[in-house]
Structure formats: C-alpha cells, structure tokens
Structure 1
Amino acid sequence: MLRALRVRDFRLLWAARAVAGLGTSMLVVAIPAHVFAVTGSVLATGVTLAFEYLPSLLLGPFAGVLADRWDRRRLMVATDLVHVLAISVALLARTPETIWLVYVAVLGQGTAAVFFRPAAQAHIPAVVGTGPALTSANALSAVTTGVIGLGGPPLGGLLFAFNGIGAVVAASAAAGLLSAATIAMTSARPRDPGTASRNVLAGARGIGQGLRHIGQAAATRGLLATNSLYLLANAALTALLVPFGVTRLGGSVEVGYLLSALGLGFLLGAPLSHRLADRHSARTTVAAGQALVAAAFALLFNSTALPLALVAALLLGLPAVTVLVSVQSWVQRTTPEGLLGRVTAAFLTMEAAATMFGAFAGPAVSELFGMPAALNAACVVALVSAPLTLWLVPRWSGRGVDGFPPAAESEVGR
C-alpha cells in the first residue's frame, strides 16, 4: 500500500489532500453548531446541510470539464485558495440577521471542493502511472480519507466548544493554504494542447463527451449504476447507525466503539484491497465486496450484544475499501486521459446524489415502518447491487496487457 509514496509528487499530493481534508472535515460539526448557537433554529441548522450538497449536484459535471481542460495542478491550487476565502466569510455571521453569510461560506467552500476532487483523482494516474502504484495510491488515499473522516469532525467540535468558530475557521483556512503551497511544489506536467486549450464556455458539449464515453463503455456504465445503488444503501445504513447504537446497544459510548471498529477495519483492509484490485477483475472484486458489505451490515444491525456488533463493524472494512479502490482504479485505468476528469466527476456527482437520497430515505422509512424494517431493507438493497454488478458489467472487463486494462478508445476533445 505504501508503494506510491516512493513517488515524490504523489507524497506531496497525498499530504496536501490529507491536510485539506482535515481542514474541511473540522467544519462538519463546527459550522452547524455555530448556526444553532447563533439562531437557536433547527431549520436554519438543517439548511447548512442542503448548501453542502448543492454544489455537488449542480456543478459536478462542469467540474469534470474544467479538470480536463485546465491544468489540474493549478486548478487544485486555485480551489484551495477559494476555500480559504469562502470559509473566512463565516466569521462575519455573528447575529441571526447575518447568518445568511454562513450559507454563502458553505456554498463557496463546497464549490471549491467539487472542483478539487475530480482534478485530484484525475491527476493521480499522471503522477504514479496505471500499474500497481495506482491501486496503492488509491488504497492509501481511501484510508487517509476514512481516518480523517472519523477524527476531523470531533476535533472541529472540540475546537469550537473551547475556542469558538473563529479558531475552527482559522485552522481550516491554514490547512487550505498549506495544501495549496504543497501542491504548488509538485512538478508541472504537460497536457495535450488538443484538450487543455479548449474554451471552457463550451461546457455543455464537454459534459456530453463525458456522458457519451460512459454510454459507450459498458463496464464503466455498469459500475456507475451499481455503485450508486450500493452507496445509496450505505448512506441509509450510516444515517441509522447512531440511533441503532443508542437504542439497541446502550448509548453514545457504544456508538463511538462502533465507529472506531469501522475505522480499524478500513485500516486493516486497505493493504489487501489494492492486491485484490490488481489480481482480479473489477467485476469480481466489486460484486464480492458489495455482497460482503451487505452481509456485514446485516450481522451488525441484527446484533443484540456489543461484541458481535464490533466484530461485524470490523469485518466491514476489507470489502468496503476494496469496492472503493476497485471502482476508482478501473475508472482511472480505462478512461482516456482527456476525459478522466469528466468521468470521475460523473461518479462523484452520482455519489453525492445517492448519499443525499439515502441519508434522507433511511430515517424516513424508519419513521414509517420502524427501525428494524428500515435497516434490513437497506441491507437488501446493498445486497442487490452485487448481482446487478455481475449482470451489468461484462465478464471480460478488468484485466488487459500486463494484468491491467488498457485505456478505452474514445473521441477525446473532438
């Protein structure tokens, strides 16, 4: 899993993404807490979540066009600086009448993140190549994201509780500046002038090229559909994890144990995930991983004792990270370089939509039919994604010359 760290530019890119991710994740708890402290309104607090999802849903496809037509390194630096400027606006929201400035800040920060992610993911193959170092890079990135996702929000919450929103914004802004400086230290990489110099205003046509490629690439199209269904189920299950832990396992302390077990499983599974992704087809690893994740979730949510629930949470790690690494590596290896940003953005946009819908659907079904019914229904949906992958993704997909699939032919930039 550490093979990719031998490449200097990837070390810098990985460090920058880790720092930027930590700065962003610290805002997850602190910003809603600040809104609630200022307004006392649950509705106003909930609106911040809507503004977090909005950029991904509206701008994701355009972010892919920019990632394919601009210098990705400069784009990442620019979005880090936009993050710093945007989140600083939240400091001006000190009264209920000025709380709208927080929404502006969240919208700006979310927009910067939407444009950063496809550029970063599309840039990785240019840095480490498409061999074993690519799956190593993806596995390491997945683990880092998971760890930061677990540790960043509580850290931001603690910082807010003791020092207020100013300290959290300062820390997040500093992280953005450090990320920008680190990425600027990486080597400039030449882009194909046939794609890099195109007018970005031709965004609709550019999005159409990406969608056309997905429509023609059967395996990529199948993975997009089944992975979206899988992520929807995951979001529903994750949204119900805290209520389940509190009502069935004892309380918030037990929920903390479950989250720790999930994080540990992710860490333990990462070293194996990139080997599985390299040795087996995407069709096989993704379908098997989806089925095992569904089984582990079913075991977790039908547990009545904490030890069994912790074992199930731990077992979630390996298949979950394998699905993530396999899908991302397939997209990076088989998509033409000039379309990689757009195809990556399509996956990220569908991920945001599926996550948003699942996060609302899980609790809604629980309210209507009870928590056990909602949990088991979501487990069934996750399980269905496995045979759907086997059906929609061709058998031949996954391995090409030297064990890795070749980049698909497509009309890039025409």
Structure 2
Amino acid sequence: MSETAERPPQAAQDSHHSRIGARKLLAFEGFRRLLFSRFSSQWGDGLFQTGLAGAVVFNPERAVSPPEIAAGFVVLLLPYSIIGPFAGALLDRWDRRRVLVAANILRGILILISAAAVATGVGGFPILLLALVVIGISRFVGAGLSASLPHVVPVPNLVEANALSVTLGAVISVIGGGCAVGLRAVFGDDNVGSGLTTAVAVIGSGLAAWLAGRFARGALGPDKVVEPATALAAVANGLFDGGRVAARTPSVAAGFCALLAHRASFGISLLLTVILMRYSFEDWGPVKAGLPGLGVVLGAGGLGIFVAGLTTARLVTGLGRKRTVFFALGAAALSQFGLGLPMTLPTTLLAAFLIAYTGQVVKLCVDAAVQRDIGDETRGRVFALYDMLFNITQALAVAIAATVIPANGESVGLIIAATLIYLAGITGLEVVSRRSA
C-alpha cells in the first residue's frame, strides 16, 4: 500500500522568491521522498555512464579517434532528443508516480543487459544502442521528477527547492562516477571488470523505483489532463504544445536562449577535455591523466554545481533572475577563454569548476522559470522539449567540433568559438527580454 505524500499548500504565483532553508524543505515528506528518488537515480546514472566511458573511451587495449568519441556523444544524445517532446505529452497524461516506477524498473533491466554485453566483449553499435536507451530513460525520469516538484513544495519556494534537488542530484551523479572509477580499480579494467562495474548501477534504479512507488496514486500529478481522446493524438501534439507554451512565456523563452548557448559551449569543452585527457595531458602531482584525471575533472565540476546550489537562490533574491543569468554567462565566457587557452591540467580543473558553477546557475534559473510560469497541464511537455533542444544543441556542437579538432585535442580556435557562443547567449537573452517587455 502506497503512503500518502504530504502535499504543502500552493501559494499564489507571484514574482517573489521565498527562502525557508533546507531543514524546513526536508520537513515536507513528499519533497524528501522525491529528493531521495532523484539521488538514487542520478547516482546510478553517473556510475553507468562512467563505467561505459572507461570500457570504451579509456580502454588501454584500444585507441579511439576524436570522431569516434564524438559519435558516441551524438548517439547518446540525439535519440532521446527526438522522442523527448512525445515523452513530455505522456508525463502530462499519465500518472507520474507510475511512470517513474516503471521507467526505473525498465532502466535497471537494461543496465544489467548492458553490463553483460560489456563483460562478454560486445562492442561497437550494440553497446551504443543499449547505452542510448538507458540514457534516454534516464532523461525521461529526470523530466518526470522536475515536473513533479511543484506538487511537493510551495510555489514561492521552488527556486530554493529546485536548487537543492537538482544541484545535489548532479553532485550525487558525480559521486556515482567516482564510484565507477573506484570499482574499476577493484574489479579491473578488462571487459569482465568493466561489466561488473556497470552492473552495480542497477542498485540506483531499483532504489529510485521503490521510493517513487511509495507515493500515493496521483500525488505527483498531473492534476488535470487537457489532451485529445487517444494517447496517440496526445503524443503527436507533444512537440507543438511544448514549443507553443514555451514561446509564449517570456521568462522561459529568454532562459532557453541562455541555456542553449551554455550547452553548445559545454559540448565543445566536453570533447576537448576528454581528448586532451586521453592523449595530451600529463600527470600533475597527485592528479593523474586518463580516466582518473577525468574523474577529478568531474569532481571539480561537481563542486561547482554544489556551490551553485548554495548561492543561486541568494543571487536571484539580490539580483533578480535575469541579471543572475547575465552574470553567469559573462563569468562562463571569461572562464572559457582565460582558463581554457593554456590547455593544461590545473587550468582545466579550475575551468571545470567555474563553468559547471555558472552553467548550473543558468539551469536552476531556467528550471524555476518553467516550474513557476508553466501550467501543470503542460509542464511535462515543456521540460521534455527543454531536454530535446539542449541535447540536440550539445550533440551538434560536439559533432561540428569533431570535424576540426586535432587528434591530440589542442585547438585554440575551438576555445575561442566556445567563448563567442557564450557572448551570443548574452545577446540572445537581452534581445528576447526586450522584445517580451
């Protein structure tokens, strides 16, 4: 029997943010349960993705080229980008609690199949196909968790609650990646060891499904369904509805411009970092190059995400959401240019921290705009459209960068291009904001 989640009273949607602190937020039973479900899910995601990266990209028995690495990113990002808006229509039609339970169970089964394939030496397209389905389900789960948040916390506290849940969730994902690095050291970096490491990720999916299942039916929405008579028609309308609502909501449309710029620049930085870590960087003191070094970079990024969670609500309270996003994009551009150009391991670590920090600030502001300013009957579609647009943007950035990046990853031109993209994001944010005004 499912327990009934405590649902806080919903305040009017005004322009003010309220901060009550993490302790009072955690007093809401529904928020606490949703938060722990997110933690379990994202821990498993981090472990699964890092385990596969170790098995494929940092396999000592196989050299991979930049186009092959980029192809892996594109294959993992694009498929869910195509089905994302349709998934959003389902999140606004089906009981989100049941969706979260079923999606996590399915993901756990596919993780075990993927682990078995890695352990038996299966490579190439089959592994990428399994990985893209697992990642796609993870994105679907993430959209469901975000769309459910306004059902477990008061509206004025959404910025703070979203900062806490999304930020700590991202940190937990990094911890999952660190666990994968540690488990590879225990199980070994051969096929069997990589398979065992990947299989451990099933624990996260199982726990996330159990936690989501403890909500009462309907506790996570949607409150009402404004859909065509058949599910097929609802799915077909998902993309159009999400785009129409987002375009008509000024705060969301302007935020999308900023986050699109970040994801494009981040895609370029991601490819550069992986290739530099694989082929160019040398050990720097206790920090080793290769997969361990990539783990340290992920840790630096995780720290930046954590700090963003602690400071974003204060920045929004003091500066307002628009100015906070301007600040974040400007700082990201400076970090990309000033710390990216030296192309050394220590400057890359600092750049990872700052870019992750500023990117998370932007994301939290955009998440809050969607959660506050989009109605519950269409919020799932907008979040799914959100994922689709940003995954496509990142995938295209990686694919285009792969056509010009040298084999060792040392490209001044790409770093300058990533910096200019941030500046374009600032321009787009200003233009859309003025047009809205």
Give the TM-score range, shorter chain: 0.7 to 0.9
Contact kept in structure 2, 1:89 and 1:104, CA below 8 Å: no
Aligned to 2:230: 199
CA offset at residue 330 of structure 1?
A: 0.6
Residue in structure 2 matching 1:377, options 417, 423, 426: 417
| Distance of 1:150 and 1:375 partners within structure 2 | 24
Residue in structure 1 matching 2:369, options 330, 335, 340: 330
Residue 171 and residue 321 in structure 1: after superposition, are their counterparts in 2 closer, same or farther (change >3 A)?
same
| Distance of 2:345 and 2:237 partners within structure 1 | 53
Larger CA deviation: 20-29 vs 302-311: 302-311
Aligned to 1:212: 244
Residue 307 and residue 53 in structure 1: after superposition, are their counterparts in 2 closer, same or farther (change >3 A)?
closer
Per the alignment, in what secondary structure is the counterpart of residue 10 of structure 1?
helix
Contact kept in structure 1, 2:105 and 2:205, CA below 8 Å: yes
Aligned to 1:390: 430
Aligned residues: 396
| Distance of 1:264 and 1:169 partners within structure 2 | 24
Aligned to 1:222: 254
Q: Does 1:351 align with 2:411?
A: no
Residues 112-147 of structure 1, C-alpha deviation per residue, up to 9 Å, x if partnerless? 223212111110111113212x11222122322332
CA offset at residue 45 of structure 1?
A: 7.7
Structure 2, unaligned stretches of length 5 or more? 1-20, 188-192
- 1:14-413 mapped onto 2 (5 Å cutoff): 14-34=35-55, 42=64, 49-93=73-117, 95=120, 102-132=127-157, 134-163=158-187, 164-188=193-217, 189=219, 191-195=222-226, 199-202=230-233, 203-242=235-274, 247=280, 253=288, 259-303=298-342, 314-316=353-355, 318-367=357-406, 371-394=411-434
Larger CA deviation: 339-348 vs 238-247: 238-247
Per the alignment, in what secondary structure is the counterpart of residue 384 of structure 1?
helix
Residues 124-175 of structure 1, C-alpha deviation per residue, up to 9 Å, x if partnerless? 111113212x112221223223323433224224424533244334422222
CA offset at residue 339 of structure 1?
A: 0.5
| Distance of 1:336 and 1:314 partners within structure 2 | 34
Q: Identity, % of aligned pairs? A: 23
> Which amino acid letter does the alignment assign opposite residue 382 of structure 1?
Y
Contact kept in structure 1, 2:328 and 2:358, CA below 8 Å: yes
Instruction: Output the TM-score relative to the length of structure 2.
Output: 0.79
Residue 272 and residue 85 in structure 1: after superposition, are their counterparts in 2 closer, same or farther (change >3 A)?
same
| Distance of 1:13 and 1:227 partners within structure 2 | 25
| Distance of 1:317 and 1:70 partners within structure 2 | 34
Residue 209 and residue 316 in structure 1: after superposition, are their counterparts in 2 closer, same or farther (change >3 A)?
closer
Q: CA RMSD for the aligned pairs?
A: 3.4
| Distance of 1:291 and 1:150 partners within structure 2 | 25
Larger CA deviation: 353-362 vs 64-73: 353-362
Per the alignment, in what secondary structure is the counterpart of residue 128 of structure 1?
coil
Aligned to 1:410: none
Residue 210 and residue 124 in structure 1: after superposition, are their counterparts in 2 closer, same or farther (change >3 A)?
same
> Which amino acid letter does the alignment assign opposite residue 216 of structure 1?
R
Contact kept in structure 2, 1:16 and 1:183, CA below 8 Å: yes
| Distance of 1:39 and 1:248 partners within structure 2 | 19
